[in-house]
Amino acid sequence: METMFWDKRNETMGRPALEALQLKRLQSTVRRLARRVPFYQEKFAERGLKPADIRTLADAQKLPFTTNADLRASYPKGLVAVGPESLARLHTSSGTTGKPKALFFSRRDVGNAADLMARCLTMTGVTRQDVLQNMMTYGLFTGALVMHYGAEKVGCLVIPAGPGNSEKQLLLMQDFRSTVLHITPSYALYFAGFLESKGIDPRRDLALRKAFVGAEPYTEETRRKIERTLGVEVYNSYGLSEMSGPGVAFECAQKRGMHLWEDNYLLEIVDPKSGQPLPDGQRGELVLTTLCREAMPILRYRTRDITAVIARPCACGRTHRRIDRITGRSDDMLIVRGVNIYPQQIEQVLMAIPEVGRNYVIQLEGLDEMTVRVELAEGGFDGQVSRLARLREEIGARLRAEILTKPKVELAPPGSLPVSEGKAKRVIDTRKL
Ligand code: AMP
Ligand code: ZN
């Protein structure tokens, strides 16, 4: 497939020019922060750091990290670098605990985020002919709005459906012939089950071609399952509110890692414990610095997302490096009976078993008891109880091989486990340890 570009000059810029641009933008960001933002002024003073000390991109390592806790502590004012007259939009990100984070955009920031999103969409072959059904949550969450603005910029017909209400989603898809979905992996799996229960074959009855799937971690197995059951090509979409939401990194038609727009973000991978930089190819925590943000620039944000840089050139011709699928967050590792487990390991095992359906929950309770509750696939139960017992055994054994501890496995009827409208809650931990 011939690749299309939204902004060919910037997307294919040679590495030396791209890095020179990054340095120029980094220096100007640091200068502005040193003039305007007390939080960074203090951090620079602690280190005896002056903007003039940033002479090369490697000097970025002299800059302080910004953490989730720093952003929470700055709520509700945010780490704003412009006057109130320049603020155009507020988003907040709540995460799971405590105070939210306030994230401000200027008019230029809003336009810029839409522009990066437009690059992403065009990169996958979306054009103004497409009808994009946006099934992410609208509101304070960045996910839906940034995609919405980007898709409008490309010239798509955008349907601001929001998540949930599958009956209505289906009607919209049928009546307006939606070709592209923007959706979380958990809702995509759920929705595929809904279509099946309605006797709808998406390849025969709908016009869907692509789905942009993100906002939560998911595995290759889940991607394949969504592709198979919704009859679409799935493109991985990565972003976070702190970095203006979706459109930070996105898969091209090669679908081998996500191009991260390096003219807008400085990309580092660090050891999550020591904070020391790791070489390309090694997995670690993604750290991002905004290079173009006006209202609220952020230096070296500790995303807590675990990934690796793919530095080899991509066949699509883009020079911006790719990041690998996010395999989890540095803070979502579970420790069960002394064993380190990432929820993604469990998902990978479950989604590769054909009899397993679309939803699962990991429950931790009591004194370190782990139960994995799994929905059966539609039509996966033929009434034979012995089949169920065998399946439970098999799931238990496969999980044990992957996570080195054998959880209790419970099978549940299709569609019976709770689905959330926003991000899925896969882990329920009520342990008293
Ligand atoms: P939010 O700030 O609410 O938009 O959440 C951002 C977080 O969602 C990221 O830091 C990731 O942990 C997660 N996330 C977003 N997109 C993806 C993706 N494609 N794969 C894995 N995790 C993702
Ligand atoms: Zn590419």
Q: Which amino acid is at 219?
A: T
Nearest-CA residue for atom 15 of ligand 1: 215
Cβ 332 under 6 angstroms from ligand 1: no
* pLDDT one-digit tens code per residue, 306-323: 999 999 999 999 999 999
Each residue of 8-22: pLDDT tens digit? 999 999 999 999 999
SS (H, E, C) the chain: CCCCCCCHHHHCCCHHHHHHHHHHHHHHHHHHHHHHCHHHHHHHHHHCCCHHHCCCHHHHHHCCCECHHHHHHCCCCCCCCCCHHHEEEEEEECCCCCCCEEEEEEHHHHHHHHHHHHHHHHHCCCCCCCEEEECCCCCCCHHHHHHHHHHHHHCCEEECCCCCCHHHHHHHHHHHCCCEEEECHHHHHHHHHHHHHCCCCHHHHCCCCEEEEECCCCCHHHHHHHHHHHCCEEEEEEEEHHHCEEEEEEECCCCCCEEECCCCEEEEEECCCCCCECCCCCCEEEEEEECCCCCCCCCCEEEEEEECEECCCCCCCCCCCEECCCCCECCCCEEECCEEECHHHHHHHHHCCCCEEEEEEEEEECCCEEEEEEEECCCCCCCCHHHHHHHHHHHHHHHHHHHCCCCEEEEECCCCCCCCCCCCCCEEECCCC
Q: Would the pLDDT of 433 be above 80?
A: no
Structure tokens at 65: 């990290």
Q: Which residues surround ligand 2, an ion (CB under 5 A)?
A: 252, 254, 314, 316, 318
Which has the higher per-residue pLDDT, 268 or 97?
Answer: 268
Q: Which amino acid is at 323?
A: I
Asked if residue 240 has its Cβ within 6 Å of ligand 1, the reply is: yes
For ligand 1, atom 9, name the residue with the nearest CA.
Answer: 240
Q: Which residue's CA is minimally distant from atom 10 of ligand 1? A: 240
Assess contact for 294 and 33: CB atoms under 8 A.
Answer: no
Report residue 330 as tokens. Answer: 């540095």
Predicted confidence at residue 329, as pLDDT, reads 86
Residue 383 CB neighbours (<10 A): 6
Q: Which of 71, 288, 326, 425 to mutate to test the pocket of ligand 1 (most atoms within 8 A of CB)?
A: 326
> What pLDDT score does 1 carry?
60
pLDDT score of 383: 75
Measured between its terminal Cα atoms, the distance across the chain in Å is: 54
Q: What residue has token string 């992996």? A: 185
Mutate to test the pocket of ligand 1, among 187, 305, 421 (most ligand atoms within 8 A of CB): 305
CA dist 350 and 343 (Å) reads 11
In whole angstroms, how large is the CA radius of gyration of the chain? 22
Asked whether the predicted pLDDT for residue 97 surpasses 60, the reply is no
Give the Cβ contact number of residue 85 at 10 Å. 7
Q: Is 49 in the pocket of ligand 1 (CB under 6 A)?
A: no
**β-pair type (265-270, 334-336):** unpaired
The first and second tokens of residue 7, run together, are 């902004």
- What integer best gives the mean pLDDT of the chain? 95
Whether ligand 1 lies within 6 angstroms of the CB of 237 is answered as yes
**Residue minimizing CA distance to atom 12 of ligand 1:** 305
d(CA 156, CA 77): 35
Please tell me the distance from the alpha carbon of residue 88 to that of residue 110, in angstroms, as a whole number.
8
pLDDT in tens, 172-222: 999 999 999 999 999 999 999 999 999 999 999 999 999 999 999 999 999
**Residues whose CB is less than 8 angstroms from the CB of residue 27 and which lie 6 or more positions away in sequence, other chains included:** 51, 54
Task: Answer yes or no: is the C-beta of 217 below 6 A from any ligand 1 atom.
Answer: yes
Give distance in angstroms: CA of 255 to centre of ligand 2: 8
**Which domains can be identified in the chain, with CATH numbers?**
1-331 (3.40.50.12780), 334-429 (3.30.300.30)
Ligand 1: distance of its center to the CA of 386 in Å? 40
The pLDDT > 90 percentage for the chain reads 88
> pLDDT tens across 239-294, in order?
999 999 999 999 999 999 999 999 999 999 999 999 999 999 999 999 999 999 99
Please write the tens of the pLDDT for every residue from 61-95.
Answer: 999 999 999 999 999 999 999 999 999 999 998 76
| Token code pair at residue 313 | 């050139």
Tokens of 157: 């017909």
Q: Is 214 in the pocket of ligand 1 (CB under 6 A)?
A: yes
